[in-house]
Chains A and B, each alone.
Chain A
Amino acid sequence: MFCLLALIVLSILGIFSATHRQLAKEAFDCVFRRITFRPCTTGFKEKMKAKLTGKILNRSPFVARFLNRHFELVSWVFFILMVASTFWTVKGAYNFYLYGSCNGLNETGFCAFDPSGENNKVSQIATSCSLEKPSEKDLTLNGVDLSIFPIRNPDAKDKIIFIGCYGCDYTRKAYPLIQKLIANNEVSFIFAHFPVKDETNFLSEYGYCAYKQDQERFWQFNDALFASDKQNLGNKNYVDGLASKIGYNLTTIDRCIDSQETKEAVERQFQEISKTHVYGTPTVFINGKVLVGPKPYRVYERALKGWRFW
């Protein structure tokens, strides 16, 4: 067992070191002899055993003695650990490829491929005190009236519901990817603004009125808001400038914003969003699958197309 273990470990080390490459060759010779039903007479195992025991001897004679007497057993233990760690590594890589996180969909534990956890970060929504941590499992569209949100291409079979915030970094990271996905696929797209930053609260009403005035221009306006420097989004004059440039009638919009009907509609939108149990932005529902945080494009694409994305 030791020779096999040594072959794997030394082959990896051998990529970087000529000394280990030579040892890997010796380990291969030993393994090859064993699989061809010949005894391993190269003395490789004994050599490595002596080297390892010698290294440990000065630090702990007890451990050195234990290793010397139970070398095969220790080899087995390390082999099992190696197989287990390989399994977890492969599983982590697989999860990362599929979900952008080594730990699974929307899981935030440490991931070597995404050490800073960027793919799972969200802008937290201030909610009422709760003993339990918000969970992705609670996210749902059941009972949520989606008809009150801006929608594009409503008849398409595939559906994306994007809950985001104009002024939030992670939403702004995910939005262009979702736009790319929409551009490349026949998709029904619903956008729900859930402002996490106070200074952009007014954009919910602004967006409602813009959509009400001109549904086609709304999507240009939406794109323009996400393309803008987020420092400017709290400035109504700046937003007016964007809307005006797109062709909106600002007087109509201002009147709409001030109306009681708009306030009630926006309040209703918030209530509907709350029913999803959203706890951070961006939260994206793609054909019912929830993706929290800005995922890599491949993750969104696979969620939309399944294995067809190959």
Chain B
Amino acid sequence: MNINKLRQDFPFFQKTLNRKPIIYFDNACQSLRPQSVIDAVVNYYQDYPACGGRSMHRLAAKVTQKCDEARSIIARFVGAKRKEEIIFTRNTTEGINLVAHSLGLQKGDIVVTSDKEHNSNLIPWQILAKKIGIIHKIIPSREENIFGLEGFKKVMNEEVKLVSLGFTSNLDGVTIPASEIIKIAHQFGVLVLLDVAQTAPHHKIDVTALDVDFLAFSGHKMLGPSGTGVLYGKYHLLEKLEPFLVGGDTVVSSTYDSHKLLPPPEKFEAGLQDYAGIIGLGEAVRYLEKVGFENITEQEHTLNKFISNEIVNIPHLHIIGPEDPSKRGGIVSFYIEGVDSHQVALMLDESANIMVRSGQHCVHSWFASKKIAGSVRASLYFYNTQEEAEIFVNQLKKVIRVL
């Protein structure tokens, strides 16, 4: 993979701040976009800015066709059996909420999550527990934040209705043994929902091989436009789900006192959609496939290994998650005893244009339980370079010496 050539596809890398290049290490929050994705979005607004799936004129037909193409591309991307299993959402959070509110959970139903879920996979269950009385069970992680498979096995039984887990953690980059978890869950007839927001941009996912029931991810973390997301669901399950958001373009017909819903995916895509975003997301997937996941993971691991080795021995600095960087994907999340993580992030930004995330990364529950105020998170992607990693390490050491 020629990184310098790939970087030319990203107009962002031509930008500078105070005449210095910008080092973007906040990819777990949102990735950068290649020109082809930007062009796809701009072309929609410039050339055929019409409604899809409604009007009959030629512009509308083109929008429908382009969105349909995007759906097919994404279905192929995740290994879905049919494109109707792909529902467009605004983000992963919306996908998880859709399942949570459409699954028909009853009082006493058990939902299982891990102890380091993003708020998007925690709050919906807490609210349902309060509203209708579901039971929310949390699996504690093992040492080094590894998924507690033994604890999971102990919790599983026929009363569990759903296992909802983050495939790759945005906190520390640790990926769970999803295939094994799904097998165990299915032995008890339990459905599995995976949050793959931090997986889909970095690893090949095959929903058919995994046999996962639902899967949600965001477009903006994988080169796509912001405000785009996908929920995958097995078709026969989607047919049974009651949509929690209904209205325009979700019904075949309606009378004053009745309506007939369209089949999936339309029944879940209420109202006018983000056509530009959907088309852009299709283009982003095309681009990712062109780069190749082997190249992506190799570059991320190389950089993660370099950064981890350089900072691991800094006194009072703790890397969250496994010591082995290859188990943390593209994420290096760390905290320094007695130092405010925001201060480190702001100083990296102000002194060297290095953009990293600081705070609790929407995993407040984990930080609260460990009594850690927050961490600095450098999240890498295939377009980040060794030179950037070196600048980051040197500048971080400089910052720490000052604090």
Chain A contacts to B: CB under 8 angstroms: 43, 46-47, 49-55, 57-58, 61, 64-65, 68
Q: List 28 A-B contacts (CB under 8 A).
A: A43-B342, A46-B340, A46-B343, A47-B342, A49-B343, A50-B340, A50-B342, A50-B344, A50-B345, A50-B346, A50-B347, A51-B350, A52-B350, A53-B347, A53-B350, A53-B402, A54-B350, A54-B351, A54-B399, A55-B350, A57-B347, A57-B351, A57-B398, A57-B402, A58-B351, A61-B401, A68-B402, A68-B403
With both beta carbons as reference points, the residue of chain B lying nearest to A50 in the complex is identified as B346
* Minimum-distance CB pairs A-B, first 3: A54-B350, A50-B346, A54-B347
B86 within 8 Å of A by Cβ?
A: no
Known: A55-B350, A58-B352. A50 touches B343 (CB 8 A): yes
B351 touches A55 (CB 8 A): yes
Residues of A within 8 A of B348 (CB): 54
Q: How far is the CA of A61 from the CA of B340 in the complex (A)?
A: 19
Q: How far is the CA of A64 from the CA of B346 in the complex (A)?
A: 14
Q: How far is the CA of A49 from the CA of B345 in the complex (A)?
A: 12
Chain B contacts to A: CB under 8 angstroms: 340, 342-352, 398-399, 401-403
Q: How far is the CA of A51 from the CA of B346 in the complex (A)?
A: 6
Min C-beta distance of A50 to chain B, whole Å = 4
Besides the known contacts A43-B342, A47-B342, 4 further A-B residue pairs in the complex with CB atoms under 8 A apart = A57-B347, A61-B402, A64-B402, A65-B402
With both beta carbons as reference points, the residue of chain B lying nearest to A64 in the complex is identified as B402
Residues of B within 8 A of A68 (CB): 402-403
Q: How far is the CA of A47 from the CA of B349 in the complex (A)?
A: 12
Residues of B within 8 A of A54 (CB): 346-351, 399
Inter-chain contact total with CB atoms closer than 8 Å? 48
With both beta carbons as reference points, the residue of chain A lying nearest to B343 in the complex is identified as A50
Q: How far is the CA of A231 from the CA of B316 in the complex (A)?
A: 83
Q: How far is the CA of A108 from the CA of B346 in the complex (A)?
A: 47
Residues of A within 8 A of B398 (CB): 57, 61
A65 touches B350 (CB 8 A): no
Min C-beta distance of B394 to chain A, whole Å = 11
Min C-beta distance of B341 to chain A, whole Å = 10
Min C-beta distance of A61 to chain B, whole Å = 6
Min C-beta distance of A53 to chain B, whole Å = 6
Min C-beta distance of A151 to chain B, whole Å = 70
With both beta carbons as reference points, the residue of chain B lying nearest to A52 in the complex is identified as B350
Residues of A within 8 A of B347 (CB): 50-51, 53-54, 57
B401 touches A65 (CB 8 A): yes
Q: How far is the CA of A49 from the CA of B346 in the complex (A)?
A: 9
Min C-beta distance of A182 to chain B, whole Å = 61
With both beta carbons as reference points, the residue of chain B lying nearest to A55 in the complex is identified as B350
Q: How far is the CA of A68 from the CA of B399 in the complex (A)?
A: 11
Residues of A within 8 A of B401 (CB): 61, 65
Partner of B346, one of A47, A58, A61: A47
A46 touches B349 (CB 8 A): no
Q: How far is the CA of A51 from the CA of B350 in the complex (A)?
A: 6
Residues of B within 8 A of A43 (CB): 342
Q: How far is the CA of A61 from the CA of B347 in the complex (A)?
A: 12
Residues of B within 8 A of A64 (CB): 402
Residues of B within 8 A of A61 (CB): 398, 401-402
Q: How far is the CA of A58 from the CA of B394 in the complex (A)?
A: 12
Min C-beta distance of B349 to chain A, whole Å = 7
Residues of A within 8 A of B352 (CB): 58
B399 touches A46 (CB 8 A): no
Q: How far is the CA of A80 from the CA of B89 in the complex (A)?
A: 56
Residues of B within 8 A of A55 (CB): 350-351
Residues of A within 8 A of B402 (CB): 53, 57, 61, 64-65, 68
Min C-beta distance of B339 to chain A, whole Å = 10
Q: How far is the CA of A55 from the CA of B343 in the complex (A)?
A: 12
Q: How far is the CA of A55 from the CA of B346 in the complex (A)?
A: 10
Min C-beta distance of A7 to chain B, whole Å = 20
Min C-beta distance of A260 to chain B, whole Å = 81
Min C-beta distance of A209 to chain B, whole Å = 75
Q: How far is the CA of A55 from the CA of B401 in the complex (A)?
A: 15
Q: How far is the CA of A53 from the CA of B401 in the complex (A)?
A: 12
A46 touches B351 (CB 8 A): no
Q: How far is the CA of A18 from the CA of B180 in the complex (A)?
A: 54
Residues of B within 8 A of A50 (CB): 340, 342-347, 350
Residues of A within 8 A of B345 (CB): 50
Min C-beta distance of B262 to chain A, whole Å = 45
Residues of B within 8 A of A47 (CB): 342, 346
Residues of B within 8 A of A53 (CB): 343, 347, 350, 402
Min C-beta distance of A20 to chain B, whole Å = 16
With both beta carbons as reference points, the residue of chain B lying nearest to A47 in the complex is identified as B346
Q: How far is the CA of A232 from the CA of B229 in the complex (A)?
A: 88
Residues of B within 8 A of A58 (CB): 351-352
Q: How far is the CA of A49 from the CA of B343 in the complex (A)?
A: 8
Q: How far is the CA of A43 from the CA of B279 in the complex (A)?
A: 40
Determine which residue in B349, B351, B403 has the highest number of CB atoms from chain A within 10 A of its CB, and name it: B351
Determine which residue in B342, B344, B348, B399 has the highest number of CB atoms from chain A within 10 A of its CB, and name it: B399
Min C-beta distance of A19 to chain B, whole Å = 14
Q: How far is the CA of A58 from the CA of B354 in the complex (A)?
A: 13
With both beta carbons as reference points, the residue of chain A lying nearest to B352 in the complex is identified as A58
Partner of B399, one of A49, A51, A52, A57: A57
Q: How far is the CA of A258 from the CA of B402 in the complex (A)?
A: 87
Residues of B within 8 A of A46 (CB): 340, 342-343
Q: How far is the CA of A169 from the CA of B15 in the complex (A)?
A: 57
Min C-beta distance of A82 to chain B, whole Å = 23
Residues of B within 8 A of A57 (CB): 347, 350-351, 398-399, 402
Residues of A within 8 A of B349 (CB): 54
Q: How far is the CA of A205 from the CA of B348 in the complex (A)?
A: 80
